[in-house]
Every structure is written in C-alpha cells, then in structure tokens.
Amino acid sequence: MSQFQTGFAQVNINPPLGSAIYGYYVPRFAKGFLDDLEIRAFALSLGEKKILMFSVDACGVDTGLVKRYSKTLEEATGVAKENVFITATHTHTGAYLKPNNMFEMEEEPIHRYADFVETRLVDAAKLALADLKDSKMGFCVGYAPERVAYIRRYKMKDGSTMTCPPINDPNIDYPIGTLDQRVNVLRFDREGGESVILVNYGLHADTINGELLSSDWPGWMYRTLDKALDGVKCIFFNGAEGDVGSTNVHPMPGDMNDTEISFDNEMKSPGMARFVGRALAGTVLQVYDKVAYVDVDQINVMRRTVAIPANLPTPEQMPLARKYKELHDAGKDEEIPFEAMELTTVVAEALRMCRMENGPKEFLLDLTGVQIGPVALVGIPGEPFTDIGVGIKEAEGWSMIMPCSLTNGDEGYFPMQSAYDEGGYEARTSPYKAGVDAVIIQGGKALLDDMRKLK
C-alpha cells in the first residue's frame, strides 16, 4: 500500500511600497511593513494522487485569477488543476488580488503583483512537492478563549440592525448570532522533517487597519507557534467568518490595551493582532499533544457547482445608488448623509447595485471538497456566516469537517436568511438573493456525502 506523504513550504509575497492595499472602501497605499506577507503551501500525496493547498496572505483572491493560477500550477508541477485548493487568510492589510479597481488606480502595478504571486505559487508548490515525506495525521478540536471573537452584527434598541456599531453605544441591544468557538487542528508528523499544523477557525483577519502591510493575526499565530514548538510549521485556513470580528462593543477592563477605535468603529492596532494571534496559538498548544491519530488511506478532491439567484436592484433604487456612487468616486463621501460603518454600508450597497443593474440573474459557484482520510475540508468561494459553517459541520460520516472561506475565489458575503430580514452591511451588499445560506449548506453536505462514497 502506498504511503501517505505531506510536504510544506513558505515563500514571501511582499509587494513594492506604494502598492494598493485591498480591504476597505477607502484608497490606501503601502507605506511600509509590519511583517511579511506569505504563501504557505501544503502538498499531499498518496499513490498516484497529489493535492496542492495554499494559504495566501491576501484579503481575497479573484476567482478568475484562481483558475489562471491553477492552470499554471498544473503545467509547472503536473498536479491536476482540479486538485488545487487556494485560500486567502483575509488580511485587510495585503495587496490587491482582485480586478475591481474601485478607485481608478493605475492598473499595471496591480497586474504585475498578480503575476508575481503566480510565480511565487509555483515556487511554493515545487518546494512543497520536493519536501514530501512519509506522514501520519492526528486531529483534535480546541476552543478559542474569551475576548478573541465576537458576532459583529447587532440588533439595536430602535429596531434597526447594525454591523460594527460604535463602542458602548447605548442603542445596542444584543448580538445577532452565536459564535462557533471550535478551533479545528490537524497535526502531521513527518519522518525526517518538520511537523505541520493545519488550523481552521472562523474570524476576520481585520485587526490592524492603516497603510502598513501585514499578515494580521494569522501571522502572529504562526510566529508564536514557531517559537513555542521546535520543528513545527503552521498553515491556516480561515473558517466561516462572515459575521465574526474581534471587537467587544462593551469593552471590559484591559480590552483597550494597546489598541484604538478605527474609522469603522472597530478595535484595531498591531497590538490587537498580536493578542488574537497569541490567544489562538495558545488554543493550538493546548491540544497539540492530544490529537487522535487516524489512518489516511484516501485523499480526494471533488467540486460541486451550486446555482444562486442574484440580489438584483429595482429600478426605483438606481437613482440614489448612482448618486452615492458618483459622490464616492469623486472622493466626496462627506456629502453622503451617513458616517462610520453606516457610510461604508450605503457606499458598498450602491456599488453593488450599480455593478448588477443589468444582471446576471444567477451565479454558478464551485464548492471544493478535500478528503484526507476521515477528515474533510469544504472550500467556499466567499465569506459565509458562522451558521453556514455550523450547518455544514452537521454532515454525517466524518471525524472532522472544516469549512474554509475565500477558497478558490472571492465572491462576496453569504449571509443567513435572517440577515436579509433584519438588514445590515453584509446582506445589503451581498450579490446573492436571500436563501443563499440554504444553497451553500445543502451543497456542502451533498458534496461531503458524494466524497464519502469515493473509493
């Protein structure tokens, strides 16, 4: 019987200073570095099958770029393009890997960076494949500590719904949703090589802000684990994080240490990234020595296409949407009668309406499943809400299920049905019609069921 093997590599993808930073609806250009941006690659091999998995320090990687990158990787390594799994960590202080140039910035630097990342993906893939070593896998579930993550959507006392309301706003009533604090951990012990930890947890990597490039809290988690565990490397796949942030709207003593309130009412600073990264590294350390080892007798990749109706604007909505877009494009946000996160919401909503005025009527999106023995990953090409991840985890027949956001594409938010009823940033800006949650959950479960039947 062929031996299960794994390989790891990491490469730098720092862009030049002056590069555009992606993550908000305001233009930002890199003035320096807090820490390096990286690609971390993980290769799997069993018999004739090989799988390449990548974690990219970016807010998101465009679906078209993923397809291009996957084809290039197939040509460079011989690994089938269908067996490529590319996720973004969702750092909001990384460079553009999206084509939508909302600020009319110079296009050429953005394209050059996309080309550079393509080259580095190939480098990382070759290094990871060259590093393949006989491996055994163990899994365990840890639980994130308090004060790391919070549902960021709130019902207000006036009956409205708001994403990221102001700190200590007396109008805040209660959060809408429940956290999934499970931190999924896979440990790969490799003969004659470093061990690899694969971590999966759903939380926005948006704790810094500003114009200094950074891998945000995932980078702090990596560096903390590197120092705490000799001969261990880490790769991170973000979970269902669409409605989860790191801001406590009712701060406890100490919550404001080494942090500040950003333009969008959230706690952000390098100190916040350090805290979150260290806290989650601590969770990994708690379970690292207690993984349950399992046989890996199969590895597989499967895709499933789901059809999702589009969230099209009405003719009545378009005049105001065009007005807000024109003001935003002209740099006149101060003339739009909102502020902070409410301003971000109406601007993003207007951009969505203008972009989709003439369709399409539906979107066809690919879910990507990866089987590693009795463990499965489900890649979703956007930002699912927590309860979508929880719903997918309820599929039967697996020892562990890891929903992974922003995988093989970045196609926006996937909110729950209730979010459309209540309003708020994510549902108002999502390109998808209400009911997208059921489509993703059902599609994910069907994908897992089909993959479980593979031999």
Q: Are residues 265 and 377 in the same domain?
A: yes
What's the pLDDT at 2?
A: 66
Q: Are residues 49 and 161 in the same domain?
A: yes
Distances (CA, A) of 42 to 45, 85, 133, 262: 10, 10, 12, 35
Could you tell me how many residues make up the chain?
455
Q: Are residues 339 and 270 in the same domain?
A: no
Q: Are residues 205 and 318 in the same domain?
A: no
The SS3 call for residue 286 is: helix
437, exposed or middle or buried, with CB in 10 Å at 0-12, 13-18, 19+?
buried
Q: What is the total count of domains within the chain? A: 2
Tell me whether residue 262 is in a domain. Answer: yes
What's the pLDDT at 271?
A: 96
Q: Are 4 and 296 in contact (CB under 8 A)?
A: yes
> Residue 136: which residues within 8 A CB-CB, separation 6 or more?
4, 188, 189, 293, 296
Q: Are 401 and 393 in contact (CB under 8 A)?
A: yes
> Residue 246: which residues within 8 A CB-CB, separation 6 or more?
148, 149, 150, 203, 204, 206, 207, 217, 266, 267, 272, 276
Q: Are residues 276 and 350 in the same domain?
A: no
**Structural domain range at position 351:** 313-358
What's the pLDDT at 212?
A: 97
> Whose structure tokens read 């942090």?
259
Tell me whether residue 17 is in a domain. Answer: yes
pLDDT of the chain along its 455 residues, tens only? 469 999 999 999 999 999 999 988 888 999 999 999 999 999 999 999 999 999 999 999 999 999 999 999 999 999 999 999 999 999 999 999 987 655 667 788 899 999 999 999 999 999 999 999 999 999 999 999 999 999 999 999 999 999 999 999 999 999 999 999 999 999 999 999 999 999 999 999 999 989 999 999 999 999 999 999 999 999 999 999 999 999 999 999 999 999 999 988 899 999 999 999 999 999 999 999 999 999 999 999 999 999 999 999 999 999 999 999 999 989 999 999 998 888 999 999 999 999 999 999 999 999 999 999 999 999 999 999 999 999 999 999 999 999 999 999 999 999 999 999 888 889 999 999 999 999 999 999 999 999 998 86
Tell me whether residue 308 is in a domain. Answer: no
What's the pLDDT at 100?
A: 64
What's the pLDDT at 1?
A: 46
Q: Are 141 and 400 in contact (CB under 8 A)?
A: yes
| Dist CA 242 CA 440 (whole Å) | 14
Transcribe 143-180 into DSSP letters: EPPTTS-EE-EEEETTS-EEESPPTT-TTEEEESS---
Transcribe 416-432 into DSSP letters: -HHHHHH--HHHHH-SB
Q: Are residues 269 and 416 in the same domain?
A: yes
Tell me whether residue 140 is in a domain. Answer: yes
| Dist CA 202 CA 239 (whole Å) | 4
Which of 340, 358, 376 marks a domain boundary? Answer: 358
Q: Are residues 199 and 281 in the same domain?
A: yes
In this prediction the pTM is 0.94
Q: Are residues 322 and 260 in the same domain?
A: no
Q: Are residues 200 and 325 in the same domain?
A: no
